[in-house]
Amino acid sequence: MNGAEALIKTALGAGVDVCFANPGTTEMPLVAALDSVPGMRAVLALFEGVCTGAADGYARMSGKPAMTLLHLGPGLANGLANLHNARRANTPVVNVIGDQATWHRAADAPLTSDIVSLASPMSGWVRETKSPGAIAGDMADAIAASLTPPGKVATLIVPSDCQWDPAGDASKPRTVPPRAKVAGDTIDRIAKILRVKKPTTILLGGHALSIAGLKSAARVASASGCKLMTETFTARIERGIGIPNPMRLPYFPEQALEALKGTQTLILAGTKSPVAFFGYQGLPSSLVPDGCACETLARVEDDVAGALAALADALGAPKDVAVPAAKKPQLPTGKLDPASLGAALAALQPENAIIMDESATSGGPYAAMAGGAPPHTSLALTGGAIGQGFPCATGAAVACPDRRVIDFQADGSGMYTVQALWTQARENLNVTTILCSNRAYRILQMEAARAGNVEMGRNARSLTMLQPPEIGWAQLAKGFGVPGVRVETADDLVKQLNRALKEPGPNFIEAIL
Ligand SMILES: Cc1ncc(C[n+]2csc(CCOP(=O)(O)OP(=O)(O)O)c2C)c(N)n1
């Protein structure tokens, strides 16, 4: 067995059986090993940002890492933005990156670069394999590191001679520590704060947004009268009829501070203390109101769902709390705008759908209505590096072939990684894309106005508008092998969405806003 085969056998032994790849010469032994060691599903993506975003979506839905296979420093560099998003989502990802043969490094050949330095900021764990005998153990360590709570990006750099030279056998999976249980003292301390019944808000994130976490949080709120809120951008949240539906902390700092106004204690459950997405002149970094105390029930790496359940019990909360009936979204007619688009999606999405939400400024009305949609899972852009929607939806569909994935996709963001559509077609994935076609970087126009640049000049307009020329989205989708249509009214959208959601395989709807 050579090093490459030992690596793949180790991955399979640890349950890692999907590889999102864009290989090159330095990964050829690994490419061969993907056949000589059977069991790995190898998925080609035509840009490394698609590989890394797909690995993120896959792990958010399956709970286990996929491996990426990337080509030296430049291949990794192309994938970094979506690794940044994965890192912010605490997603387990295992990057395997080929490098020059150890004896060829000194030659400083054209593709040689400092891969460790490139990988480090976006990785929670980085290692270079030093010998063929070490490769299997390194891979086992990388997988364990990725799965160590709360979940990490782990990057293993494997020189090509360590792949092709004879190696020992595969390594056994390492033991991964479970999420830390929150101490009884902490539960008692938080329960005491909640019993005082001063205005208190619990900010929920990470695993608190599972069904069990949300239900326990609702029990705590019903027993104590506290408010519940979720972090603004959630890696994964369960939503829909019958599922507690806390308000989302607003994005803009003025609105977030307003939403938290009057709160005397902010309790963190599976998230960090909230901060503004950007620094704005005259506004603070921290979104915790002045004079408000901040307490931690559970950190992101802790068993936050268990802590919320224990807290609910400590407060003597009833076992089940009725979820207020949510308004069922009505099918829209007439003009197509973010409100009618949101209503159409919320009304038509099938039970158990996975919504990848990179809808940016077009998604507000949908987010407000989704609580009345059938139960579903929602994934968001956690790190703000746009271009995540198409890849993440692709990975989610690989993880969950029996569920319909809906990529609710802003147009500007979509253009960064549009070639993921080709992977959706090749793998025949059940992904419906709804493209919010406002043909602008709308958020940047809003930010310009907020900064006082209301009458934008020629350059500012040019840098925030996506036409001319108009992007032919439906033709683009068709060119990648995904049937695509364009709709201009709410009625047309309803008709096309109804059809698309029932058809197997990928499809695409450009909604002109
Ligand atoms: C990788 C990366 N590049 C650039 C940006 C800056 N940026 C933030 S939002 C945005 C435009 C978003 O436009 P679109 O996706 O069409 O959504 P809209 O604002 O129109 O709703 C840009 C360029 C970013 N966040 N990430």
Query: Is residue 185 classed exposed, middle or buried when 0-12, 13-18 and 19+ CB atoms within 10 A define those classes?
Result: exposed
Gap from CA of 159 to ligand 1 centroid (Å): 36
Closest residue by Cα to atom 16, ligand 1, is 412
**DSSP H/E element including 125:** strand 125-128
Query: Is residue 191 classed exposed, middle or buried when 0-12, 13-18 and 19+ CB atoms within 10 A define those classes?
Result: buried
Residue 410 CA: which ligand 1 atom is closest? 15
Query: Is residue 469 classed exposed, middle or buried when 0-12, 13-18 and 19+ CB atoms within 10 A define those classes?
Result: exposed
* Prediction pTM value: 0.98
Gap from CA of 386 to ligand 1 centroid (Å): 6
Alpha-helical (H) ranges within 37-134 are 48-62, 72-88, 115-119
Residue type, 78: N
Binding-site residues, ligand 1, Cβ < 6 A = 81, 360-362, 384-387, 410-413, 438, 440-444
Which CB contacts under 8 angstroms, 24+ apart, belong to 365-369? 365/338, 365/339, 365/341, 366/338, 366/341, 366/342, 366/408, 367/248, 367/342, 368/342, 369/327, 369/329, 369/342, 369/343
Residue type, 243: I
CA-to-CA dists, residue 120 to 127, 155, 235, 489, angstroms: 10, 8, 22, 47
- Max CA distance (Å), the chain: 69
Phi and psi (nearest 5°) for 195? -70, -25
Closest residue by Cα to atom 21, ligand 1, is 361
Mutate to test the pocket of ligand 1, among 47, 409, 413 (most ligand atoms within 8 A of CB): 413
Phi and psi (nearest 5°) for 243? -105, 130
pLDDT in tens, 240-293: 999 999 999 999 999 999 999 999 999 999 999 999 999 999 999 999 999 999
Residue 426 CA to chain centroid, in angstroms? 22
Closest residue by Cα to atom 12, ligand 1, is 441
Gap from CA of 441 to ligand 1 centroid (Å): 6
Over the chain, what is the mean pLDDT? Answer: 97
Mutate to test the pocket of ligand 1, among 359, 386, 438 (most ligand atoms within 8 A of CB): 386
Closest residue by Cα to atom 14, ligand 1, is 412
Q: pLDDT tens track of the chain, all 513 residues? A: 999 999 999 999 999 999 999 999 999 999 999 999 999 999 999 999 999 999 999 999 999 999 999 999 999 999 999 999 999 999 999 999 999 999 999 999 999 999 999 999 999 999 999 999 999 999 999 999 999 999 999 999 999 999 999 999 999 999 999 999 999 999 999 999 999 989 999 999 999 999 999 999 999 999 999 999 999 999 999 999 999 999 999 999 999 999 999 999 999 999 999 999 999 999 999 999 999 999 999 999 999 999 999 999 999 999 999 999 888 899 999 999 999 999 999 999 999 999 999 999 999 999 999 999 999 999 999 999 999 999 999 999 999 999 999 999 999 999 999 999 999 999 999 999 999 999 999 999 999 999 888 888 999 999 999 999 999 999 999 999 999 999 999 999 999 999 999 999 999 999 999
Cα radius of gyration rounded to whole Å, the chain = 24
* Spatial distance between the Cα atoms of 448 and 111, rounded to a whole number of angstroms: 40
Closest residue by Cα to atom 18, ligand 1, is 442
- Nearest of 354, 391, 356 to residue 43 by alpha carbon: 391
Instruction: Provide the 8-state DSSP code for 52.
Output: H
CB atoms within 10 A of CB 439: 17
Closest residue by Cα to atom 9, ligand 1, is 443
Gap from CA of 413 to ligand 1 centroid (Å): 6
Gap from CA of 512 to ligand 1 centroid (Å): 18
Residue 248 pLDDT: 97
Residue 413 CA: which ligand 1 atom is closest? 15
Residue 197 pLDDT: 87
